[in-house]
Amino acid sequence: MTIITADWLIANAEEEPLRSHGIRILDAEIMEVGKIQDLKAKYPDDDLIEGTGKILLPGFVNAHTHMYGVLAHGIPVDNPPEDFWAFLRDYWWPKVEDALDKEMLSAATKWACMEMLTSGTTTFYDILEAPNTLPGGLNTQKEEVMSAGIRGILSFEATERSGTEKGHLGIEENLSFHTETRDDPLISAMMCLHTTFTCSPEFISRAFSLANQNKLAVHAHCNEGKHEGLWCEENHGIRPLELYETLGLASSNFIASQCVHLSKKEIEIIKNLDIKVTHMPLANCEVGGGIAPIPELIDAGVTVGLGSDGYINDFYEVMRGAFLIHKARLQDPGVMSASTVLDMATLGGAKALGLEKVGKLESGYSADLQLIDAKFPTPLTSENIFEQIVLWRSGEHVSDVMVAGKWQVRDNEIVSIDEDQAREALHTQAKRLWSA
């Protein structure tokens, strides 16, 4: 048994922060939450980890990422794309995704896991789209994820853009990976497809049908730019989420990421069918996609998780982006409170991904947590702690991270990854990608 204490404990973003509290852990599970003096008195023989000057909070849930994306950080771009469609067609597909191989994938996965862990992320959902890594791309990632000790949901983004045969290989990749990881405590699978403009209705229906047979959730990119909605209207007479509804596929096990350009009817579909949404504030800005109507979706009762999209993996930066950009879009400083953003980054992400017993510090939940520096330049109070964390903390303030009861970052050092070796490998593979 281990007791972990801190000056402040945040069990979840919906509850009052607690002064001088701690948690008691057995193996991978939180057994009890209580006052420090009470836990010490009840369990004097337990191992004690004292987080003096620290805040104890749940590990982040990165609900949407592309780990291979770190290979493109700093990649030369001769002619910046005009819009999101041009970004995909002229840059991302030919120069990144279609050029990836398993060596590149391995190096990228290791580095991304390290960046996530060292900045407080304990769970992630990854989308791989790399046709030249089929079959077996997800297993390549799995080896690195297992070595890092982080909780991960892995999927291959099935698409017909390279032909129907390749598309079906992507579907089969997800199904076989699900079979392999069915009993794994940390790694699992999800069905994933790209968009309505790269997948036919027949292909989409097959992916959903097979997912339902195997009790898998389904993820798809939706309305990331204006292109998909316009294309769908021109080719199907309806918008993307209307198409999913018409096909009888949209339900509570459907995760629609991005959702930047939504019609009022699409928002109603999301609300009425309990479709989950994941939000990528920084990446949406970087590719010129726009800003998703997240406050409106939250007001409608939609479950929303937060994601990095593989752009910046420090989730404190992602939270800060979500906190700020909606205030600017709506010209309302009162929208998107810090507690709302922190909820999206933890329990909201877990709910969006269909994960149970993840995302908060409570008895019966997995011991996925982080300790961060509580020494702010201004006083820390129960009224300002969420805003202090979201606005003025970053990955550099994370000292310790635990996943399923095991320390993966301890005293500011990552346990299972050699940072210098990981950087050297990523440099080598990035150079290969950039010269392809």
Q: pTM score, two decimals?
A: 0.97
Write down all domains in the chain, each with its CATH number in brackets.
2-58+365-414 (2.30.40.10), 60-352 (3.20.20.140)
Tokens 């080598």: give the residue. Answer: 428
pLDDT digit string (tens) for the chain, length 436 residues: 999 999 999 999 999 999 999 999 999 999 999 999 999 999 999 999 999 999 999 999 999 999 999 999 988 877 777 777 777 788 778 888 999 999 999 999 999 999 999 999 999 999 999 999 999 999 999 999 999 999 999 999 999 998 999 999 999 999 999 999 999 999 999 999 999 999 999 999 999 999 999 999 999 999 999 999 999 999 999 999 999 999 999 899 999 999 999 999 999 999 999 999 999 999 998 878 899 999 999 999 999 999 999 989 999 999 999 999 999 999 999 999 999 999 999 999 999 999 999 999 999 999 999 999 999 999 999 999 999 999 999 999 999 999 999 999 999 999 999 999 999 999 999 999 999 7
**What interhelical angle do 338-345 and 385-392 show, nearest 10?**
70
